[in-house]
Structure 1
Amino acid sequence: MYPRIDFLYLSEPAMIHAGVLNAAACVSVCEETFGLLGKGDYLMGGPNHNHHGISITFPPHSAFPNMPMSGPDRRFAAMPGYLGGRFDVCGNKWYGSNHANAKEGLPRSILTMMLNDKQTGAPLALMSANLLSAARTGAVAGVGAKHLANRDARVISVVGCGPINKACLTALMTQLPSVKKIVCFDIILQRAENFARWAEKKYDVSVVGVSDAEPCFRDGDVITVAASRAKPLYFKDEWIKEGATILVSGPFNTDDSFLTNCKIVFDHTPMHRAYLEEGIASGDKEAYYSGEMGGPFYRLLDAGKLPALEEATGLGDVVNCIKPGRLNFEERIIFISCGMSVFDIAWGFDVYKTAAANGIGTLLNLWHEPSGF
Structure 2
Amino acid sequence: MYPNIDFTYLSEPDMIAAGVLDAKRCVEVCEETFSLLGKGDYLMGGANHNSHGLNIVFPKETKFPNMPVAGPDRRFAAMPGYLGGRFDVCGNKWYGSNHANGEKGLPRSILTMMLNDKDTGAPLALMSANLLSAARTGGVPGVAAKHLANKDAKVVSVVGCGPINKACFTAIMTQMGSVKKVVCFDLFLDKAQELASWAAAEYGVEAIGVDDTEAGFRDADVITVAASRLKPLYFKDEWIKEGATILVSGPFNTDESFLTSAKIIYDHTSLQEAYVEDAIASGNKDAYYGGVIGGPFFRLIDAGKLPGLKDSTGLGDVVNGEKAGRENAKERVIFIACGMAVFDISWGFDLLQNAKAKGIGQSLNLWQKPHQG
Per the normalisation by structure 1, the TM-score is: 0.99
What are the residue-to-residue correspondences of 1:156-235 with 2, within 5 Å?
156-235=156-235
Aligned position for 1:136? 136
Aligned-pair distance for 1:155? 0.4
Aligned-pair distance for 1:317? 0.3
Aligned-pair distance for 1:232? 2.6
Q: Which runs of 5+ in 2 are unaligned?
A: none
Which stretch of the first structure deviates more once superposed, 180-189 or 198-207?
198-207
What are the residue-to-residue correspondences of 1:1-373 with 2, within 5 Å?
1-373=1-373
User: What amino acid does structure 2 have at the position aligned with 1:343?
Assistant: F
Tell me the distance in 1 between the aligned counterparts of 2:177 and 2:267: 23
User: What amino acid does structure 1 have at the position aligned with 2:82?
Assistant: Y
CA deviations over 1:101-149 (Å, ceiling 9, x no partner): 1111111110000000000000000000000000001010100000000
Tell me the distance in 2 between the aligned counterparts of 1:17 and 1:72: 33
8 A Cα contact 1:293 1:338, kept in partner: yes
User: What amino acid does structure 1 have at the position aligned with 2:228?
Assistant: S
Q: Secondary structure at the match of 2:164?
A: helix
User: What amino acid does structure 2 have at the position aligned with 1:63?
Assistant: K
User: What amino acid does structure 2 have at the position aligned with 1:340?
Assistant: M
Tell me the distance in 2 between the aligned counterparts of 1:242 and 1:268: 25
Identity %: 73
Aligned-pair distance for 1:161? 0.3
User: What amino acid does structure 1 have at the position aligned with 2:209?
Assistant: G
CA deviations over 1:350-371 (Å, ceiling 9, x no partner): 0001101111011000000100
CA deviations over 1:325-350 (Å, ceiling 9, x no partner): 11111100000000000000000000
Aligned-pair distance for 1:242? 0.3
Tell me the distance in 2 between the aligned counterparts of 1:129 and 1:232: 27
User: What amino acid does structure 1 have at the position aligned with 2:204?
Assistant: D
Tell me the distance in 2 between the aligned counterparts of 1:233 and 1:120: 45
| Count of residues in Structure 1 that have an aligned counterpart in Structure 2 | 373
Tell me the distance in 2 between the aligned counterparts of 1:219 and 1:98: 35
Tell me the distance in 1 between the aligned counterparts of 2:106 and 2:299: 35
Tell me the distance in 2 between the aligned counterparts of 1:117 and 1:50: 20
Tell me the distance in 1 between the aligned counterparts of 2:305 and 2:64: 45
Q: Secondary structure at the match of 1:260?
A: helix
Q: Secondary structure at the match of 1:182?
A: strand
Aligned-pair distance for 1:301? 1.2
CA deviations over 1:246-271 (Å, ceiling 9, x no partner): 00011111111111010000000001
Aligned-pair distance for 1:166? 0.8
CA deviations over 1:51-74 (Å, ceiling 9, x no partner): 000100011111111111111111
Tell me the distance in 2 between the aligned counterparts of 1:213 and 1:367: 56
Q: Secondary structure at the match of 2:218?
A: helix
Tell me the distance in 2 between the aligned counterparts of 1:7 and 1:232: 43
Which stretch of the first structure deviates more once superposed, 199-208 or 80-89?
199-208
RMSD of the alignment, in Å?
A: 0.6
User: What amino acid does structure 2 have at the position aligned with 1:56?
Assistant: I
Q: Secondary structure at the match of 2:224?
A: strand
User: What amino acid does structure 2 have at the position aligned with 1:60?
Assistant: K
Per the normalisation by structure 2, the TM-score is: 0.99
Aligned-pair distance for 1:219? 2.3
Tell me the distance in 2 between the aligned counterparts of 1:219 and 1:182: 11
8 A Cα contact 1:157 1:219, kept in partner: no
CA deviations over 1:292-347 (Å, ceiling 9, x no partner): 11111111111111101111000000000000111111100000000000000000
Q: Secondary structure at the match of 1:207?
A: strand
User: What amino acid does structure 1 have at the position aligned with 2:297?
Assistant: F
Tell me the distance in 1 between the aligned counterparts of 2:282 and 2:273: 14
Q: Secondary structure at the match of 1:292?
A: coil
Aligned-pair distance for 1:228? 1.0
Q: Secondary structure at the match of 1:141?
A: helix
Aligned-pair distance for 1:216? 1.6
Q: Secondary structure at the match of 1:179?
A: coil
User: What amino acid does structure 2 have at the position aligned with 1:37?
Assistant: L
Tell me the distance in 2 between the aligned counterparts of 1:10 and 1:302: 45
User: What amino acid does structure 2 have at the position aligned with 1:346?
Assistant: S
User: What amino acid does structure 2 have at the position aligned with 1:305?
Assistant: K
User: What amino acid does structure 2 have at the position aligned with 1:44?
Assistant: M
Aligned-pair distance for 1:50? 0.4
- Runs of 4+ residues deviating >6 angstroms: none
Q: Secondary structure at the match of 1:143?
A: helix
